Amino acid sequence: MIDLRSDTVTRPSEGMRRAMATATVGDDVYGEDPTVNRLEAVVAERLGKEAALFVPSGVMANQIALHVLTRPGDEVIVEQGSHIFNYESGAPALLSGVQLRPVPGAGGRLSADDVTAALRPTGAVFPVTRLVCLENTANKAGGRIYTVDRIQRIANAARAHDLRLHLDGARLWNASVATGTPEHAFAAPFDTVWVALSKGLGAPVGSVLAGSADRMARARRVRKQLGGGMRQSGILAAAGLYALEHQYEQLATDHANARWLAERLADLPGVALDPATVETNIIICDVPGRDAAALAEQTAADDVHITPFGPETLRITLHRDVDRAMLKRAWPVLKTHLGRAA
280-320 pLDDT, tens digit per residue, is 999 999 999 999 999 999 999 999 999 999 999 999 999 99
Domains and their CATH numbers in the chain: 14-246 (3.40.640.10), 250-338 (3.90.1150.10)
| 111-132 b/e (C-beta count within 10 Å ≥ 16 → b) | ebebbeebbeeeeeeeeebbbb
Size of the chain, expressed as the number of residues it contains: 342
pLDDT tens digits along 196-235: 999 999 999 999 999 999 999 999 999 999 999 999 999 9
Burial zone of 207 (CB within 10 Å; 0-12 exposed, 13-18 middle, 19+ buried) = buried
Task: Look at the alpha carbons of 261, 264, 270, 272 in this order and tell me if their dihedral is positive or negative.
Answer: positive
pLDDT > 70? residue 342: no
| Residues 88-105, mean pLDDT to the nearest whole number | 97
What number is the average pLDDT over the span 237-261?
Answer: 98
pLDDT for 38-89, tens place per residue? 999 999 999 999 999 999 999 999 999 999 999 999 999 999 999 999 999 9
Q: pLDDT digits over 8-24, tens only? A: 999 999 999 999 999 99
Per residue in 126-179, pLDDT (tens digit) is: 999 999 999 999 999 999 999 999 999 999 999 999 999 999 999 999 999 999
Q: How far apart are CA 44 and CA 52, in angstroms?
A: 5
> Quick one: pLDDT at residue 341?
65
Is residue 6 within 8 Å of 32, Cβ to Cβ?
A: no
For the cut 70, the answer to whether the pLDDT of residue 123 exceeds it is yes
Q: Give the integer Cα–Cα distance in Å for 44 and 34.
A: 15
Q: How confident is the model at residue 340 (pLDDT cuts 50, 70, 90)?
A: confident
Q: What one-letter code names the amino acid at 167?
A: L
- If one compares 76 and 342, the residue with the highest pLDDT of the two is 76
CA 139 from chain center: how many Å? 7
Q: How far apart are CA 340 and CA 79, in angstroms?
A: 33
